Amino acid sequence: MAKPYSEYVFAVEGPAQARPGSGPGLGEGAAGYADRVQTTLTATGPAAVDVAWERYADLDRWPQWAPQISGVDAPARRLEPGLRGTVRAAGVVHVAFEIVDVDEAARTWSWHVRLGPIRMHLEHGVGPAAPDARHPTRTWLRTTGPAPVVLPYAPLALIALHSLLLDR
């Protein structure tokens, strides 16, 4: 069986600018430093597109493919715009979230997450891979937030994307 394929793309979002009254803390601009960064990760794998989408859409399935997630507390169990809740990471860190957008037909969704002063925006999608790809399904994740959080999160997120696409 061929192993999943992945890509990692890093880009600085917009020009670095200082905000009035801001300091050098996470997510705050400082003269000469980028305020936020954006990473885009993609992976391909053997799971069918519909199977991978259901793994995203069903909050109870998140711990099965995302090793950093031990549970999700929310009033609904399926992605829907406006849904708010908490993701439990490693059982001890509780990250607040709000689902911003869900497009079932396009198999895309986005959300905001917050842990104290740290805020990130994540966009996800699943679809068919390119015709010449080794696997039939492609998933992607675009993460925007403070560099000291977004960059170390990328390798863990890539592991989760691969797991999302495993045929099991």
Q: Which CATH number fits the domain that encloses residue 69?
A: 3.30.530.20
Q: Is the pLDDT of residue 19 over 60?
A: no
31: part of which helix (H) or strand (E)? none
Is residue 14 situated within a structural domain? no
Confidence of residue 26 (pLDDT cuts 50, 70, 90): very low
Please report, rounded to a whole number, the percentage of residues in the chain having pLDDT higher than 90. 74
3-state secondary structure of 38: strand
Give CA–CA dist 111/117, Å, rounded: 16
Q: 16 φ, ψ to 5°?
A: -75, 130
Answer whether 35's CB lies under 8 Å from 16's CB. Answer: yes
Structural domain range at position 45: 37-164
Please give the pLDDT value at position 5: 62
- Domains contained in the chain, number: 1
- 30 inside domain: no
State the pLDDT at residue 73.
Answer: 98
Residue 31 lies in a domain: no
Does 30 have pLDDT greater than 80?
no
Residue 145 lies inside a defined structural domain of this protein: yes
pTM as predicted: 0.84
Other beta carbons within 10 Å of 12:
12
In a domain, 3, yes or no: no
Is residue 126 scored above 60 in pLDDT? yes
Any domain includes 51: yes
Using alpha carbons, list the distances in angstroms from residue 11 to 22, 125, 139: 23, 19, 19
Q: What SS3 class is residue 106? A: coil
* Other Cβ atoms closer than 10 A to 104: 12
Percentage of the chain exceeding pLDDT 70? 80
CB 79 within 8 A of CB 102: yes
Whole-Å CA distances, 90 to 48, 95, 123, 130: 28, 11, 22, 34
Q: Is 66 helix (H, G, I), strand (E, B) or coil?
A: coil
User: Do residues 116 and 27 lie in contact, with contact meaning Cβ atoms separated by under 8 Å?
Assistant: no
Higher pLDDT, 106 or 28: 106
List, in sequence order, every residue forming a beta bridge with 138; answer none if it has no partner.
44, 127
Q: What is the pLDDT of residues 66-120, one digit of tens each?
A: 999 999 999 999 999 999 999 999 889 999 999 999 999 999 999 999 999 999 9
Kindly report the backbone phi and psi dihedral angles of residue 163, in degrees, each rounded to the nearest multiple of 5, phi listed first: -65, -35
pLDDT of residue 8: 55
Would 126 be classed as within a structural domain? yes
Q: How much is the pLDDT for 51?
A: 98
The answer to whether position 32 is within a domain reads no
